[in-house]
Amino acid sequence: MLGQVEKYTDLVIQYGAEYGIKIVGSLLIFLIGKWVAGKIVTLSKKGMEKANVDQTLISFAANAIYVAFIVVVVVAAISHLGVETTSFVAVFGAAGLAIGLALKDTLSNVGAAVLIIFFKPFKVGDFIEASGVMGTVKAMNLFSTTLTTADNRAIIIPNGTLIAGNIINYTGNETRRIDMVFDIDYKDDLKLSKEVIMKVLLSHPKVLQEPAPLVAVGALAQSSVQLYARPWVPVEAYWEVKFEITEAVKLEFDKHHISIPFPQMDLHVRKGEL
């Protein structure tokens, strides 16, 4: 009995001495590798921040780098134990393929996010029109973009759907043109009406002098002469200027007795022969 105990004790000591060092070495590989991965990720973040890389891309790249390093460290630690890692690599590859096929739509959104980050068709705070909706870009992540509409609704659009169609960025440039139409009666003084509108445009402090505003006859409609006004303004003042100019033109028209006609029809009645 005592001999068997000594036998098993010797086996434990033997295997403990043989594998204990390997286990300790594997743990050291994992811990040191994890620490190195963290340092590399931190240095990568600082480098990208100095290069003014978009924060979303920084987060995505940092996570990808960290996961890749951890996978390498885990495989190295397992390999140090003497375990054949070829089968693990094959399993990881098969699992990655299966996950990729199952999450292909989700991964397409991630790919779309990377394209948005690199090509920058818009940024947070821009007012855009895409996928049939309009709103201010509130937030972006790797899977979706959130827009806030003018009436404060939140619209979440998958990134893959977002870049599948046209994207109109209304605030992508520093200036924007306001397209306005004012109708006057055919009997009104055309030149005076144009002068009144131009005076309103030039007197507004946020209407740019260059490019110069334009007032021109745009169309001869059925019930009115349409005057087109085209002032340029800073993009952030677009709606403010549009509303103020519309009101100011109406008040000036009233002062100068310039009418804004409503649709009308002349009806002629002919008496039939008796």
State the CATH number of the domain containing residue 145: 2.30.30.60
Residue 105 has pLDDT above 80, yes or no: no
Residue 99 has pLDDT above 60, yes or no: no
* Cis before 211 (ω within 30): yes
DSSP line for 96-126 = HHHHHHHTHHHHHHHHHHHHHHHH-S--TT-
Q: Where would I find the beta strands (DSSP E) of the chain? A: 127-130, 133-140, 144-148, 154-158, 167-169, 175-177, 180-184, 214-220, 225-230, 232-234
Instruction: Domain count for the chain, please give it.
Output: 3
> What secondary structure letter does DSSP report for 272?
P
pTM for the model stands at 0.62
- Expressed as residue numbers, the domain containing 11 is 2-102
AA identity, residue 37: A
Higher pLDDT, 22 or 205: 205
Higher pLDDT, 242 or 112: 242
Q: Report the chain's mean pLDDT, rounded to a whole number.
A: 82
Q: Is residue 97 part of a domain?
A: yes
Which residues are 226's β-sheet partners? 183, 219
In the chain, pLDDT over 70 holds for what percent of residues?
76
Mean of pLDDT values over 227-252: 96
Mean of pLDDT values over 72-92: 68
Q: Is residue 108 part of a domain?
A: no
CA 58 to each of CA 32, 52, 117, 189: distance values in angstroms, whole numbers, following the listed order: 24, 10, 10, 62
Same domain, 10 and 97: yes
Domain termination residue (choose one: 49, 75, 102):
102
Mean of pLDDT values over 159-167: 90
**Residue-wise pLDDT tens digits, 193-229:** 999 999 999 999 999 999 999 999 999 998 899 999 9
Q: Where would I find the beta strands (DSSP E) of 125-257? A: 127-130, 133-140, 144-148, 154-158, 167-169, 175-177, 180-184, 214-220, 225-230, 232-234
Q: Is residue 162 part of a domain?
A: yes
Higher pLDDT, 89 or 143: 143
How confident is the model at residue 274, as a pLDDT?
A: 47
Instruction: Using only the alpha carbons of the chain, give its radius of gyration.
Output: 35
55-64, 128-137, 152-161, 255-264: which has the minimum mean pLDDT? 55-64
- Alpha-carbon distance 146 to 133, whole Å? 11
Higher pLDDT, 198 or 119: 198
Q: Is residue 89 part of a domain?
A: yes
Report whether 162 contacts 145 (CB < 8 A): yes
Going by pLDDT thresholds of 50, 70 and 90, the confidence category of residue 15 is low
Residue 167 has pLDDT above 60, yes or no: yes
Q: How many residues does the chain have?
A: 274
> What secondary structure letter does DSSP report for 258?
-
In what order do the strands lie in the sheet containing 133-140?
154-158, 144-148, 133-140, 127-130, 167-169
Where residue 198 sits, what CATH number does that domain have?
Answer: 3.30.70.100
How confident is the model at residue 34, as a pLDDT?
A: 84
Report whether 162 contacts 202 (CB < 8 A): no
